Chains A and B, each alone.
Chain A
């Protein structure tokens, strides 16, 4: 287990009481999300589907790399890694 940071994009901050980042203890991306979900249940539901897989309109990155190019949710998390969540955003605001 190591400490990692999860960055929370604005659309999901509603589910983290406004926090822009969370510190979690985890050794994989999945564990990091579960640790975040333990405190913010609704957050997890926006990222993972009922089967526990990543939703198709959300991307997760460790540093600048998409976990889909690594080991998916089993991608290991190293000390001080930053996990970024990138949801699809439609907005152009006309």
Chain B
């Protein structure tokens, strides 16, 4: 058997160009792509800086997603320079025209004192848990690590926050902050699926933490059992990558918007009324489909309705599953923002009518004269509004 292997290696060495680690580094500096084809446990010990890491078993399946130009110079690397020969041969057969194998592999790379990094990698438990994400080229290990390093602040652990928090925790978002000053009431359970009958009377943030950690113990849950106010918002928001607004009243909506504008944080917005929901991403720092800056909530709705023109409390019912749908859409948009996936709801509002089962999309445009995100505006202090019915 080994003689056949040796014969094959000889044949490959005669055909596949090889480069030393130093030559490889010089080529990388000129734009060549270094592909580390070793197994994850090997890569975890170290890998050349900036290397593309595709395990050999998936090389042919994934290389084109990462390297579109088949005439690019591609350098393959393994531990000792043998598997990289096979890998290089695979790429040549696939149609890549300039593929070279690195002699001596990562062992040689390190021995020559060339730069490498110890990449963050997922452990076996995480690999199993997030397997269905890892299979998707849009997420993969890199995307999963991004989610793990991300921090999302959920405003409200209620109808919208419940499904959103469950999906974000399940997806492996590393840190979830939850702001809610309320306690679980039995009337919440018709839609607030984070909570259970046994937790009636408990603070919602604690109930939420228990549920989310039961689902995914690795997620760090930061609880804020307070009502968001102009006084505490600047202490709570900074440091979060995305804010997911599941609040239930206009004063908080406007405060969240203005604070997100001030701190440059995307505001994933969801709201519901009876059978209808609205979802959008308010983020002047984000791009709309045509590349222009996105609007904020105030660009669209400069001021809230006065209490006498807002829907009354008596009208404020909601079908329990509707916030499930809208909150899930908010989680979806949040994950897309964290991963940098196009195309987000920046500059678009999605309106859902559950009775007619209609999704309508409306274009939203930034207002250059907006009092929150307009040209030359800086937010010095927050505007307070009288609370109308908290629907």
Contacts and interface: CB of A to CB of B under 8 A. Distances in A.
A43 B368 CA distance: 30
A45 to B, nearest CB: 8
A69 B276 contact: no
A86 B305 CA distance: 13
Contacts of B323: 92-93
A33 B191 CA distance: 36
Given A10-B274, A14-B315, A66-B362, A92 B247 contact: yes
Given A46-B309, A92-B246, A93-B248, A66 B363 contact: yes
Q: Which of the four size classes fits the interface of chain A?
A: 20 to 34
Contacts of A11: 273-274, 311, 315
Interface in A49-79: 55-57, 59, 61, 64-66, 68-69
Contacts, number: 117
B88 interface: no
B360 A84 contact: yes
Nearest to A82: B360
Contacts of B384: none
B303 A86 contact: no
A93 B304 contact: no
A48 to B, nearest CB: 12
B278 A84 contact: no
Secondary structure of the B contact surface, majority rule: loop
Given A91-B316, A92-B246, A93-B159, A86 B351 contact: yes
A68 B365 contact: yes
Listed residue (B192, B302, B362) with the most chain A CB atoms within 10 angstroms of its CB: B362
A88 B272 contact: no
A73 B311 CA distance: 24
B250 interface: yes
B318 interface: yes
A20 interface: yes
Interface in B295-323: 300-305, 309-311, 315-316, 318, 323
Given A88-B250, A89-B278, A94 B361 contact: no
A10 B273 contact: yes
16 contacts: A10-B276, A55-B305, A56-B302, A59-B300, A61-B363, A66-B365, A89-B278, A90-B247, A91-B248, A91-B271, A93-B272, A93-B316, A94-B157, A94-B159, A94-B192, A94-B248
